[in-house]
């Protein structure tokens, strides 16, 4: 995979499930504070997420992959990607489903590297184009994707329960 400073990016394995769940919960609690209800964020459970990740990593859906970023053997971030889930997407579209880092790692270049690895792998898999969804109010993430060359494609939705059905917007890029 890739290495940034002391950070290594590699394929996730089933033993990473709990660490990924920890990153998932802590990143949501930091990134979405003020955007999603506090009681929802405070109620996120590492145990529940770990259970879900254990299943996903044991038997991933067809074409779905997950990479982790680790520092000194500790998982500090992850990304998941694969075929698009959007019914209106053109054939041959991939999707980046997740990109999360522990709060202390945000802004240090690890997210950029992790995102680039996901994009590179989607390209290797033959996807000429990819999309992702982001909370409409999450300006920091939107800037991150725009700096990476992705653009808002004009599509807005409220279809994600995990985002409390708040408006999310779709970004797209040619790979």
- Is residue 36 exposed (0-12), middle (13-18) or buried (19+ Cβ within 10 Å)? buried
In a domain, residue 22? The reply is: yes
Domain tally, the chain: 1
In a domain, residue 65? The reply is: yes
Neighbours of 140 (CB within 10 A): 10
**pLDDT value at residue 160:** 60
Give the pLDDT confidence of 3-49 residue by residue, as tens digits. Answer: 456 899 999 999 999 999 999 999 999 999 999 899 999 999 999 99
Give the pLDDT confidence of 46-95 residue by residue, as tens digits. Answer: 999 999 999 999 999 999 999 999 999 999 999 999 999 999 999 999 99
Grade residue 167 by pLDDT with cuts at 50, 70 and 90. Answer: confident
Give the pLDDT confidence of 94-112 residue by residue, as tens digits. Answer: 999 999 999 999 999 999 9
CATH number at residue 118: 3.40.630.30
């Amino acid at each position: 995979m890739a290495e940034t400073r002391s950070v290594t990016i590699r394929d996730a394995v089933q033993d990473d499930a709990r660490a990924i769940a920890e990153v998932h919960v802590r990143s949501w609690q930091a990134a979405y504070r003020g955007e999603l209800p506090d009681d929802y964020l405070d109620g996120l459970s590492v145990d529940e997420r770990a259970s879900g990740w254990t299943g996903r990593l044991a038997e991933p859906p067809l074409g779905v992959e997950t990479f982790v970023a680790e520092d000194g053997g500790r998982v500090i971030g992850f990304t998941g990607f694969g075929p698009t889930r959007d019914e209106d997407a053109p054939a041959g579209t991939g999707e980046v489903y997740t990109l999360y880092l522990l709060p202390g790692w945000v802004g240090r270049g690890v997210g950029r590297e992790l995102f680039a690895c996901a994009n590179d792998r989607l390209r290797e898999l033959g996807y000429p184009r990819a999309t992702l969804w982001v909370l409409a109010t999450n300006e920091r993430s939107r800037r991150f994707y725009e700096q990476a060359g992705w653009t808002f494609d004009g599509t807005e939705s409220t279809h994600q329960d995990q985002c409390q059905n708040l408006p999310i917007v779709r970004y797209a890029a040619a790979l």
